[in-house]
Amino acid sequence: MARRGALTPELLTGLGIEKLARLVLDETERNPSFKRIVSAAVAAGRGPGAILGVVNRRLAALERARGLIGWEKRKAFVADLVATVATITDELGGADPPAAVDQILRFLATAERVFERVEDSSGQVEDVYGQAADALPLLVPQLSHADKAKVADRLTPLLLVDAHGLIGSAMVGILPVLSEPAVERLDKALQGASGEIGPAQDESRAWRFRLHDERLIRARQAVADQRRDVDAFIALEQSRSSQRQDTLGVAERLLAAGRPAEALEWARQRNRLGLRVMTWEDIGD
């Protein structure tokens, strides 16, 4: 039961369409983000192409922008990001799911540039991008098998440049809705990218390349978890240097797979971490 004085759809429709329209128009003049949401809803009535046009303009502006955003403008900027994601997921997602997936991936690709421009000590901007990453697994089930495979193809290059874990999180979310051929295709793409970088155990390589290794290994381990392939997970873990291995994570998976003796062996290795060293180049990065 709604509390007294709470607004409900019934109360609002009782005001009449003309009064509601006037209230909406007045608010669009005061609130640019709300205006964008209303514009997207209006565009939805004209079809997917019109919504896509709205989204394209917003993302193009986001991709071109270079200026820094101070704390006094952060609230409005965050509201604009929220409106953009809502337009993609709510309006475009209902009208054209493949286009919505494309635009969410395009939005996520702007993360690095946006984080460099805005002071985000509150974490509000990061939260919006996290919500966008969480939205991807909700959109992908609406795609055909062929389109799902195409999404998997696009994730690997994005993963390599994602410094904030957004693509990795989205990848874990969509794995359960991919067909086995699509999962196999994704795993081969990840394996190919790993082969180009080189062995993960080579500690002498640049810090940035080691970071790429870690992203690819975690992604391939997510594939192994999806397939319930503990041995594949362990093989990937062993490709790391001994100081970087998650021995308890391996033990937990072995125990869940009904292999307690092996789990105990891995669990007993948990204290073997040694001294960790950073070079001056690492510190500079």
What is the predicted pLDDT for the residue at 281? 57
Only one residue has tokens 């693509």, namely 167
pLDDT block averages, 10 residues each, the chain of length 285: 67 77 74 70 70 89 88 86 91 90 94 88 90 93 88 86 88 91 90 70 60 87 95 93 86 95 89 54 60
Distance CA 78, CA 229 (A): 41
pLDDT at residue number 196: 67
Q: Are 101 and 136 in contact (CB under 8 A)?
A: yes
pLDDT value at residue 123: 87
CA distance 41 to 55: 12
Nearest Cα residue to 33 out of 76, 65, 75, 62: 76
- Kindly report the pTM of this predicted structure: 0.75
Identify the pLDDT of residue 1: 46
Per residue, the 3-state secondary structure of the chain, as one string, reads CCCCCCCCHHHHHCCCHHHHHHHHHHHHHHCHHHHHHHHHHHHHCCCHHHHHHHHHHHHHHHHHCCCCECHHHHHHHHHHHHHHHHHHHHHHHHHCHHHHHHHHHHHHCCHHHHHHHECCCCCHHHHHHHHHHHHHHHHHHHCCHHHHHHHHHHHHHHHHCCCCCHHHHHHHHHHHHCCHHHHHHHHHHHHHHHHHHCCCCCCCCCHHHHHHHHHHHHHHHHHHHHHCCHHHHHHHHHCCCHHHCCHHHHHHHHHHCCCHHHHHHHHCCCCCCCCCCCCHHHHHC
Contact 266, 254 (CB under 8 A): yes
